[in-house]
Structure 1
Amino acid sequence: MACNQSSIETYEYLLPNASHEGDSRVPPPPATLRMSLAVLMMLTVVAGFLGNAAVCIIVYRRPAMRSAINLLLATLAFSDIMLCLCCLPFTAATLVTVRWHFGDSFCRLSAALYWFFVLEGVSILLIVSVDRFLIIAQRQDRLNPRRAKVIIAASWALSFCVSAPALAGWTLVEVPARAPQCVLGYTELPAGRAYVLTLVGAAFFVPFAVMLGAHLGVLHAVRKNAVRVHNQSERLDLRRLPRACLRRLRRQQQQASLDLSFKTKAFTTILILFVGFSLCWLPHSVYSLLSVFSRRFYCGPSFYATSSCVLGLSYLKSVFNPIVYCWRIKKFREACLELLPPTFQILPKVPERIRRRIQPSTVYACTENQSAV
């Protein structure tokens, strides 16, 4: 309807079986591309569910793993699971059939759920990034499991408050005729545009700016600390120190080096998650704003194909996080192997006591209560 009227008088839906002049000018992508994207999305559902479910199971089954940072990462994994299960299968089905078969009421509900789980995942990633900044740059370790649970509950409530107006009708959400999923449609109403600015800003631009500043602050602090330690080592004449002081100094330097290495490695993992979030969500955020504010873009002949690619890229973030955990975190890899049935375990399980003898470095336990998964 937005493409057939000069102005929109009210919030309306495009009925699934209705025929419009504008729709005939927007042919769907070729069947080969649609089927490929649909298969990719279903693989994303399976991989996202299994990978993020492993994170949740590991944190739930091991009381020692229920630190503040792990509770946050488990919440992030749960939001990705719900995003994959509640939205992605319907998008894949619509891509294959080029029709929405689930009704206009569920269309608005699915759009609200999409933004709800996206907002929750972004808020958790923002909290984790700020926590890393406070620990490394400001040396303030204030987050504990109890506070983390309160923050998680508050993030769910805030995400619901921001996404609920889409369900109540504050913006135009159209049944898929121009896109494979219920997306924000073009509107000229000031209230609708203001809400979309708030929604997209809360889902990407504001968290991106805060996380970018936090990561830059951490990098500056790490560089500053490295320069300070190097300068102190050059000014200190170790030959004039007594042996007892020299041994104590070396132990302190080794402990500080291990602690800094642990914190830097955890920060690097969060930084990689931030980069993945930015790459997956920047195109979708720009696309959403153009859909609402640009009639020419929304009614253009390439809108359906653009929507399919952008939505597929945004869903890849759900698979990206477990891959990063498996790549960066050794404990996560070991815990995932333990979850496999004995039939699929190729190598025999080595007891923890023997592993410590083989690798004495595993005895070291970081005093920081924010140890990562």
Structure 2
Amino acid sequence: MSSSPGIKRREHVDMMYISIETAIALASVMGNVLVVLAVCVNRTLRNTTFCFIVSLAVADIAVGVLVIPLAIIISLGFNTEFYTCLFLSCLLLIITQSSILSLLAIAIDRYLRVKIPTMYSTIVTQRRAYVAVCLCWILSFLTGLVPMIGWNNRNVQGNLSSSSSIVCEFTAVMRMDYMVYFNFFGWVVVPLSVMIALYAEIFRVIRRQLNRRAEATCDAERYYRKELKLAKSLALVVFLFAVCWLPIHIMNCIDFFCPTCSIPKFAMYVGIFMSHVNSALNPMVYAFRIKMFRDTLIKITRRCMLCKPTEPTPCPTGTPALTEKVDVKLQQ
């Protein structure tokens, strides 16, 4: 008995989807593991900014290890209990939220660095950076698990018993008003708007300082030029996040505000792919835009793949002035 063409085409689409998602997952995990390794290997990268970058890298690793496999499983429509499906869907939101909060923490960190450079090291300590990272993840879990306490589609599914099973799909368990009003407007648009304002102010302050050539010393000019270069790189990360994540959120808004509008399934797949690809792009930005990070990756590659020894990176010690110089050096 031959199978129908429709079933074969469906299987072909599923295989293409799974293949692309698997490739994205591998690129995301490998690239962001290198980010974490680079910070572990190079002690001069262990400052507050890279503490938040590591937090972002961990979230991107989770995308490759958890989010993409879960997205594949959910796309295949397996049967499970309602709250099991809801919890799996919430995990996707938690990882996304941790990414945007890490980006916001990076923007605040860079803003303080250029706004109050003389007081920065006393206000933004390593311990406070660790606390900020923990708060980002705790807040991500709290906001991502909101549907578990009632803001979900259980009532839409009818009178389900604890043992009743449903076809697990994201839209079957997640309410779209939560996705639009709470998740998108509240926890994506607002943080992105704050980040845009912060980076605009960062560039304004740096440009103003660089234009004061008569008053600025050579060290001050060098400091702000390096800050400008790093700020551009991190602003690019924010821009890529917005470009990759806004399409899927915009389609959610169209689906919510215009129920009669039809969104092609191909467009939804593209939006999902773009949101996942974002996790693989960040390591490329660091590698191409931050010299110290790029040099560290080259050393890791030489040691692990070419079996060539690398010289140990000295740990910054000494007076506060010397420590500040080393800290500034990482942004070359």
- Aligned residue in 1 for 2:170: 182
* Deviation sequence 1:2-34 (CA, Å, 0-9, x none): xxxxxxxxxxxxxxxxxxxxxxxxx99976655
45, 50, 53: which is aligned to 1:70? 50
Q: In the alignment, is the contact (CA less than 8 A) between 1:184 and 1:288 conserved in 2?
A: no
The percent identity for this pair of structures is 18
Write the letter of the residue equivalent to 1:366.
Answer: K
- The one of 126, 135, 142 aligned to 1:161: 142
Give the match for residue 214 of structure 1: 198
Evaluate the alpha carbon distance shift between residue 343 and residue 186 of structure 1 in structure 2; reply closer, same or farther with a 3 A threshold: closer
Q: Which runs of 5+ in 1 are unaligned?
A: 1-26, 234-251, 354-362
**Would the alpha carbon gap of residues 99 and 93 (structure 1) be closer, same or farther in structure 2, given more than 3 Å must change?**
same
TM-score of the superposed pair, with normalisation by structure 2 = 0.79
Give 1:195 shift. Answer: 6.9
Letter in 2 for 1:337: I
Q: Is the 8 A contact 2:28 2:63 kept in 1?
A: no
Q: Residues 107-153 of structure 1: CA distance to partner in whole angstroms, max 9, x if unpaired?
A: 21221011101111100101111221222245452322111011111
**CA distance, structure 2, for counterparts of residue 259 and residue 285 of structure 1:** 38
Q: Does 1:294 align with 2:258?
A: yes
| CA offset digits 1:325-363 (Å, max 9, x no partner) | 1111222223223333757339x667579xxxxxxxxx9
Q: Displacement, 1:176?
A: 9.8
1:8 corresponds to which residue? none
- Distance verdict in 2 for CA 1:205–1:32, change over 3 Å: same
CA change 1:53–1:194 in 2 (3 A) is: closer
* 8 Å Cα contact 2:98/2:137 also seen in 1: yes
Structure possessing the higher radius of gyration over alpha carbons: 1
1:327 alignment counterpart: 288
1:315 and 2:270 equivalent?
no
Letter in 1 for 2:50: N
CA contact (8 A) 2:245 2:275 kept: yes
User: Does residue 1:200 correspond to 2:184, yes or no?
Assistant: yes
Provide the residue aligned with 2:60 in structure 1. Answer: 80
Counterparts of 1:1-373 in structure 2, within 5 Å, are: 34-92=14-72, 98-100=76-78, 104-139=82-117, 141=120, 142-172=123-153, 182-183=170-171, 193=177, 196-229=180-213, 232=214, 253-297=217-261, 300=262, 302-340=263-301, 342=303, 344-345=305-306, 351=311, 366=325, 368=327, 371=330
Deviation at 1:220, TM superposition (A): 1.6
The one-letter code of the counterpart of 2:63 is L
Deviation track 1:276-306 (CA, whole Å, cap 9, x = no partner) reads 0110111122122333343224xx3x44323
**Post-superposition offset of 1:214:** 0.8
Q: Is residue 52–residue 81 contact of structure 1 (8 Å, CA) maintained in 2?
A: yes
Give the secondary structure class of the aligned counterpart of 1:340: helix
Amino acid at match of 1:155: C
Contact between 1:197 and 1:289, CA under 8 Å: does it hold in 2? no
**Secondary structure of 1:171's partner?**
coil
CA contact 2:49–2:110 (8 Å) conserved in 1: no
Unpaired stretches in structure 2, ≥5 consecutive residues: 1-6, 158-164, 314-321
TM-superposed CA distance for 1:200, in Å, is 1.5
Aligned length: 306
The separation in 2 between residues aligned to 1:197 and 1:370, in whole angstroms, is 43
Cα shift readout 1:180-238 (whole Å, capped 9, x = no counterpart): 96247786xxxx72674122224310011101111111222222223322xx37xxxxx
Following the alignment from structure 2 to structure 1, what is the Cα–Cα distance between the partners of residues 49 and 283?
Answer: 15
Residue 16 of structure 1 is matched in structure 2 by: none
Aligned to 1:241: none
User: Aligned partners of 1:288 and 1:370: how far apart in 2?
Assistant: 44
| Secondary structure at 1:296 match in 2 | coil
Query: Residues of 1 paired with 2:52 and 2:329: CA distance?
Result: 11
CA distance 1:315–1:201, shift in 2 (3 Å): same
Q: Is the 8 A contact 1:186 1:292 kept in 2?
A: no
TM-score between both structures, scaled by the size of structure 1: 0.71
Maintained 8 Å contact 1:38/1:93: no
Q: Is the 8 A contact 1:67 1:369 kept in 2?
A: no
1:310 CA displacement: 0.7
Task: State the superposition RMSD in angstroms.
Answer: 3.5
Q: How many Å separate the matches in 2 of 1:208 and 1:94?
A: 28
